[in-house]
Structure 1
Amino acid sequence: MSEPSIAESMPPPAPGAADYLALDFVNSAIALPGGVFVDALGTPASANRWLHERGLAPADAGVQEMCATQLRSLREHIRALFAARVAGLPVLPAALSAVNDALSRAPTADLLYWDDKTGPYRAAPCPTNAILDHALATLAANTADLLTGPDADRLTDCGSAPCNRYLLRHGRRHWCSTRCGDRARAARAYARRTRPASP
């Protein structure tokens, strides 16, 4: 029997992931029951596919391990910001610095260059670097929009262990998927049935 693909292992997008790319990004690595961990950015090829599917890179961008590592690093810093927001704790300065660094990586205008023969001209920086910088800046900007916008108070973590995904809460729902909700309800029912009787 073959291993399931990343796409087959991933649950459906968490509530809010369609509205905030940052939620989709932090949820690209998830813990599943049975100690299974799935990472949609785990290899350069899977990171390239994830970026392409979200319009952040062409299919043939050629993401290398260094780029995938930078994406995974930013993801962990954003997870730290989300965790601090949800728990109401102070944020780690390194996480904040990483997001601000990513925000400043993509120039908002073509840069000025100088050719010795033809003089000054404007152009975008190296395309390969520009693809990753644009992706990182876009993800960081979306994170900032979520954390400072009207939906920030709805941000929560999935209430079903071992799931580590984040979502935007709708009403009382605090699970990222039906599968997680069913697992949490089953665990509560089991705990009630196995609770020792009071003397």
Structure 2
Amino acid sequence: MRIVKEALMEEPALPPAQGEADHLSLALVNSAVALPGGHTADLLGTPARANHWLTERGLAPVDAGMREMCASQLRSLREQIRSLFASRAEGLPALPAALAAVNDAMTRVPTAPLLQWDAKTGPYRATPHPTSAIVDHALATLAADAADLLTSPAAERLTACGSAPCNRYLLRHGRRHWCSTRCGDRARAARAYARRTRPATD
């Protein structure tokens, strides 16, 4: 029974929000989805899910061998980028820790095999552990995409979905403030209900 429940919560039935196709960082931020009833679907909730998410976006091979530490790094970067998106959308100053995390991710990937030194055989050059290198490259790519989005004209259109409890971000087109048709329908239904139940005032 637990396996069935896990499978049902694995993927929310939501299409990508506006802008996700062009910005991987937007897809990353939207990978933890708040659902009605107080539930959350986390597409990075386990190492296997995180590996699957990265593979779908061309950032890791299917057999990357993701560990919990790697998935945790991905989830941590997601929260820092989410913080920056919220600051930009609401016109507030960015948290220094969020800026530091994104800059750290962008500069973590070595551009060449690093110099190592073995006590017996002496100097040699080598790349980091393959899984660590894959994750670091993915983190750098996602962080750079977030930096590109936040400094582009498109950042003016960055907004949170206007349908509670949804917590996704999108790039607004026109007056649309919803990440999906489902969220738009839910917001319109909530407004209609509020109008019907509003007490009459004389």
Name the TM-score, length of structure 1 as normaliser: 0.93
Gaps of 5+ in 2: none
Given the alignment, which residue of 16, 19, 31 partners 1:16? Answer: 19
What per-residue deviation string (whole Å, max 9, x for no partner) do you get for residues 12-39 of structure 1?
A: 1000000000000000001011112000
Query: Identity over the aligned pairs, expressed in percent?
Result: 74
Given the alignment, which residue of 84, 90, 93 partners 1:90? Answer: 93
Report what 1:128 is aligned to.
131
* Partner Cα separation in structure 1 for residue 128 and residue 39 of structure 2: 40
Once the two structures are overlaid, the 10-residue window that deviates more, 113-122 or 36-45, is 113-122
Given the alignment, which residue of 101, 104, 109 partners 1:101? Answer: 104
- 1:68-83 pair list within 5 angstroms: 68-83=71-86
> Residue 153 of structure 1: CA displacement?
0.4
In the alignment, structure 1 residue 154 sits paired with structure 2 residue 154: no
Contact 1:111 1:123 (C-alpha < 8 Å) held by counterparts: yes
Q: Could you say what secondary structure the match of 1:151 adopts?
A: helix
Name the amino acid aligned to 1:6. E
Q: CA RMSD in A?
A: 1.8
Name the TM-score, length of structure 2 as normaliser: 0.91
> Residue 6 of structure 1: CA displacement?
1.8
What per-residue deviation string (whole Å, max 9, x for no partner) do you get for residues 113-139 of structure 1?
A: 567999866543321210110011001
Report what 1:46 is aligned to.
49
Q: How many residues align?
A: 198
Contact 1:12 1:177 (C-alpha < 8 Å) held by counterparts: yes
Contact 1:10 1:38 (C-alpha < 8 Å) held by counterparts: no
* Partner Cα separation in structure 2 for residue 68 and residue 114 of structure 1: 30
In the alignment, structure 1 residue 6 sits paired with structure 2 residue 10: yes
Contact 2:9 2:41 (C-alpha < 8 Å) held by counterparts: no
What per-residue deviation string (whole Å, max 9, x for no partner) do you get for residues 37-80 of structure 1?
A: 00000001101111111111110111111111111111000000
Gaps of 5+ in 1: none
